[in-house]
Structure 1
């Protein structure tokens, strides 16, 4: 019999869902689904199958340690069908056979049951990407798993026919829209807390073309990357790991406020001796937004926080983290000359484009690796938070969808009402030849007090007008992490 989940996993912003199933033809409760929409919205979800069996449960385990589940919405001909299914990782299958949790804290093999020593710990729960005819679900602590985009069945770890030798693989690779090549990496590539990075380039079919190994300046998280016409960029976050701390029962990651930013840059097909590490003043680089080149220089846009951007999930060495809502972030542009002195990047190389107050930005994919104008991102307006009937704050992550027009400096928000929280949206162009940014923003919207969720579709350039369609989900959707849109040309019709 499965034990009850601990209170810290059920009384916060979310709780385990533990559900697999499907709903044919979701109910439209407002508006109409645009008939031109044809594709698959997929989202990676950390959803614990069994309650952890460890005394000292770390916050990162609660927030990001759940078993990977793929949530999918097939949109076509004005209808939406829904499926969700767990990724059958090695870890998932071992725990299902045992009918209990066997793995301990986030990226901490020393907290595991002895029966799973040496087994893969990844849950493949962070992001999905489509490349070479494959839908892949990944978490940066292990290999990606291939998923059938129609049935959501798991085909197993993807190794590019055995060519991937790293122990880890990023959840945020980049695809060159011109060549179809996949640019990826694994940090801690030789094992937890190592400084090793494995850098890979795959052709459009997924065959390995290039592999390089090198070391980062610190053993730290490299969650995202960026790609330009000639370079791959690795922003190192001030979230560090340490083997001695891990062995002593401490958390895998801690936040180091005084750690500088590092940007590793390698030519696309470069060698290890061509990697250059640019150092910048301390800050917290979040997800990258876009990158391209002008006049021989790299322009890198990312969301940058003025403090611990992973609080309260990641704490400092004293166990402290700033209160929610006190850390602010902005869209920042770094201008970097690969051939210049890499020792220091100064404020002269950094431009704040706009305050944001959100994360997980999306742009029109047709503008990747070139100058762009429109950015869509879920944001938080702290002035619009609400309380429940007992006067307690309703846990909300992001309560708005926002459109930033970087050309004219304007911002357009849709606030769906009190006690609501958004999940990661996707942007879909209206058509192949539509102007940049013209299309739809699609997102899951949670209503925690009502214990239900909706799928909402909005006109991208008129978010404040509200949804053109709202669809009801007949169950509560656990908060997922990253969402991806796969064009319908690559996905068979369901049912």
Structure 2
């Protein structure tokens, strides 16, 4: 293994928050490690591409009480080719991070602090946060796009080097911002996206063409400010969310941001043609709930089918512990079950059904099936722990209802785990599932490769990473054949 390391200084990272100490705490080096040492098994030679996983890794700690979501985005990449693995990690070079490094101090308050309205530049749906670009990475134009859950810029990431290559110039196109969870249609090359805001228009929706131009963009009429987190697409439609978990409107008018669940309000799912006008959207009402992450959606005759993880307690009823971070810890716990919704475009009927009652989240699928009928998804399982702890992997067969599960050894934590098709694959699950695993006590981290058709047998390859990989958020698999030489 050949390793180069660039150490940097972390500014004011001093907190007893459980999400700022190991294993969650930030690492302070950008590493390139070629030809990782193989601990067990071997790297499949029919695997070619890059696994990207992002998450918060603060270089500058936000002012006020720190929240896990405030941390500057860092992407960890495992490039797999010719039976070898190269690991890299790089901060997303955001505008806000650059300004704070120049200043030598934090400029923006964090999520748990009051807004500072004296700032001339800010991001987020209520325009007071730093765009940390720490939430999601989506495949686009042979590389990736890095985005922020509270809406901001769309940063272009080189899939191999992980260098930030500027932003998609959304304002020049007349687009306000982009939320995390844009959907890459890997068969058309388009990137479909939404944003949301505390002021009208409360939501917008758009489509970027394969060449980077704006193909479509419309405002979506909502009754007030909302906090959607994800969307879903089919070949011809997009499903947007208006869910009854959002800022208390009366407090928001006083610039106080208190997220509240309204159990007497229905969930609304807006189905709009991919290139439809804003007034062509059709709203379908369902039981009140909150959805962080969708699995997939597709068209089935007169119906749109959507698979997603529904959260059973959208607003926590109690705090965890008795510290200044107790409320944050309660909100960060996940209690989700896999569900299927059917929206009948002809009758307007909505059906919801439980597919499994296991607590699992952060789902992935074969990216080539996005918007098309898919049979399999791969979720992480969530341990009963005070912090968000992914303790294993489960593959669901959405046709038969069967599942195949692997649980990590005690003390290890998993990452979101995308599917990677093998070269020449002939079936939806003909390939691998890739992940990072970190041992909490020692800080050791590994790249894990699973046979997607035999998850329960455990990883077929384990490779040592020369630094700790903190737990994080979302991921993608960039196929080698799509990456420019």
The yes-or-no answer on 1:290 pairing with 2:271 is no
Cα–Cα, structure 1 residues 242 and 305, in superposed 2: closer, same or farther, change >3 Å? closer
Q: Give SS of 2:462's match.
A: strand
1:209 paired with 2:215, answer: yes
What's the counterpart of residue 422 of structure 2? 430
Of residues 132, 150, 170 in structure 1, which corresponds to 2:141?
132
User: Partner residue of 1:466?
Assistant: 458
Matched, 1:379 2:381: yes
Kept after mapping to 2: 8 A contact 1:193/1:220: no
Q: How does 1:156-195 map to 2 (within 5 A)?
A: 156-159=166-169, 162-166=172-176, 168-188=177-197, 192=198, 194=200
- TM-score by structure 2 length? 0.87
Does residue 336 of the first structure (1) align with residue 324 of the second (2)? no
| Unpaired segments ≥5 residues, structure 2 | 1-8, 124-129, 321-325
Question: What's 2:28 paired with?
Answer: 18
- Structure 1 position 72 matched with structure 2 position 61: no
Distance, in Å, in 2 between the alignment partners of 1:325 and 1:92 is 24
Structure 1 position 89 matched with structure 2 position 94: yes
What residue is the counterpart of 1:360 in the other structure? 362
SS at match of 1:20: strand
- Deviation, 1:484, is 0.6
Rounded to whole Å, the distance in 2 between the matches of 1:364 and 1:237 is 27
How far apart are 1:53 and its partner, in Å?
2.7
| 1:142-291 to 2 correspondences below 5 Å | 142-159=152-169, 162-166=172-176, 168-188=177-197, 192=198, 194=200, 196-241=202-247, 245=251, 250-251=256-257, 253-291=259-297
Specify the alignment match of 1:388 in structure 2: none
Is the partner of 1:151 in helix, strand or coil? coil
Closer, same or farther in 2 for the Cα pair 1:77/1:311, shift >3 Å? Answer: farther
Aligned match of 2:120: 117
The verdict on how the C-alpha distance between 1:18 and 1:238 changes in structure 2, with shifts beyond 3 A counting, is farther
- Provide the rounded CA distance (Å) in 1 between the counterparts of 2:291 and 2:452: 26
- Cα-to-partner distance string for 1:233-266 (whole Å, 9 max, x where unaligned): 0123433135764586744634444442111111
Quick check: 1:399 aligned with 2:391? yes
How far, CA to CA, are the matches of 2:75 and 2:329 in structure 1? 32
Residue of structure 1 in register with 2:3 after alignment: none
The residue aligned with 2:471 is 479
> What is the Cα-based RMSD across aligned positions, in Å?
2.9
- The one-character-per-residue Cα deviations of 1:115-161 (angstroms, maximum 9, x if unpaired) are x4224431111111222344211114202111223332222221268
TM superposition score normalised by structure 1? 0.85
Identify if the C-alpha distance between structure 1 residues 124 and 328 changes in structure 2 by more than 3 Å, giving closer, same or farther. Answer: closer
In terms of mean alpha carbon deviation, does 246-255 or 409-418 score higher?
246-255
- Taking a change above 3 Å as real, the CA distance of residues 20 and 123 of structure 1, as seen in their structure-2 partners, is same
Contact conserved, 2:381 with 2:391, CA < 8 A, in 1? yes
Structure 1 residues 107 and 276: alpha-carbon distance in aligned structure 2, compared to 1, 3 A threshold: farther
Change (3 A) 1:82 1:14: same
5+ long unaligned stretches in structure 1 = 386-392
Alignment partner, residue 452 of structure 1: 444
Q: Aligned runs of 1:41-56 on 2, under 5 Å?
A: 41-54=51-64
Write the distance in 2 (CA, Å) between the matches of 1:264 and 1:452.
44
- Where 1:95 maps in the other structure, the secondary structure is helix
